[in-house]
Structure formats: C-alpha cells, structure tokens
Structure 1
Amino acid sequence: MESKPRKITEAQKRAHQNYMEKFVEVKVRMTPERRAEIQAHAKEMGESATAFINRAIDEAMERDQAEGKKHPPQ
C-alpha cells in the first residue's frame, strides 16, 4: 500500500523555518564506511547520528577541560 505524500501547511513551513534559524550546519568529511559505522552506533544507542556527534563533542570537551587542556590561541 502506497502512502500519500503529506501536505505541509504554510504555518508548518514557517514554524520549521523559525526553528532551523536557531541552528547552523557543520560539514564533516568522512568515508561512507565511517558514516555507516557512526550511524549504526548511534542507532544502537537510541539516538540520531547528529545527537551522537554532539554528545561525543560535549564529552571530549568536558574531558579536555577536566584534564586541564586549553585550546590554542586563535
């Protein structure tokens, strides 16, 4: 059974646009195999790949701070 495409209202489009304005996109280059590995791991953890990547970044930053590491001056 085929499902019909969901119609999106103008209000939904505006709400989505307002939501997305709060974020920026960051591109990361990796092999397709690495991407699949990350996606599979995130799924096993019950989270999206984006949520997993953000969690990994947060944990690395917390660990670095706890170890007294400082970022180099820019």
Structure 2
Amino acid sequence: MSPASKAQQRAVNKYMKKNYDRVNLVMPKGRKDTIRVHAETNGESLNGFINRAIDEAMERDDQADSDR
C-alpha cells in the first residue's frame, strides 16, 4: 500500500472533521496499553472498545434512573 497523497490526506481530514468529534482522554501511564490489549483480545479497536464501554455505561445509568 502506498502512502496517501497530500490531497488524499486533506480529504480524509475534512471528512473526519465534518463527521466526528474528538476527545482527549488522559489516564495513568500503562493503562492505555492494558485497555488496548483487552480490546484487541476481544476483536475490537481501542476506539471501538472505549465507545462501546461508554454506550453500555450510559444505558446502565439510564436504566438505573428509570428504576428509581
């Protein structure tokens, strides 16, 4: 696979900016690697795992709120 041209990279950057929000997440040294290994062991990317974990936590919180 050849490297992306500057025009291709600009197009990707434009698409990402239009369609995604970015979040800067800070955690203790080494935790990122631990999470990445866990995610990959389960067939997920680090980003995919974090998004799924957030979705699942929000669903649990919403359910707990509706049970009150």
Q: Same fold (TM over 0.5)?
A: yes
Distance 2:6 2:32 in 1: 34
Deviates more, 1:26-35 or 1:13-22: 13-22
Residue in 2 that maps onto 1:7: 3
Determine the C-alpha separation between the residues in 2 that align with 1:7 and 1:50.
23
Give RMSD over aligned pairs: 2.0
Bigger relative contact order (CA 8 A; separation at least 6)? 2
Q: Which moved more, 1:10-19 or 1:29-38?
A: 10-19
- Pick from 56, 59, 66: which aligns with 2:56? 59
- Count of aligned residue pairs for this structure pair: 65
Query: 1:35 is matched with which residue: 11, 32, 35?
Result: 32
Quote the Cα distance in structure 2 between the aligned partners of 1:10 and 1:25. 22
* Distance in 2, Cα, partners of 1:19 & 1:44: 29
Counterparts of 1:39 and 1:61 in 2: how far apart (Å)? 21
Gaps of 5+ in 1: 70-74
TM-score of the pair, normalised by structure 2: 0.78
Deviations along 1:2-56, one digit per CA (max 9) or x if unpaired, are xxx8232355224312321111211111122211110000101111100000000
More helix, by proportion: 2
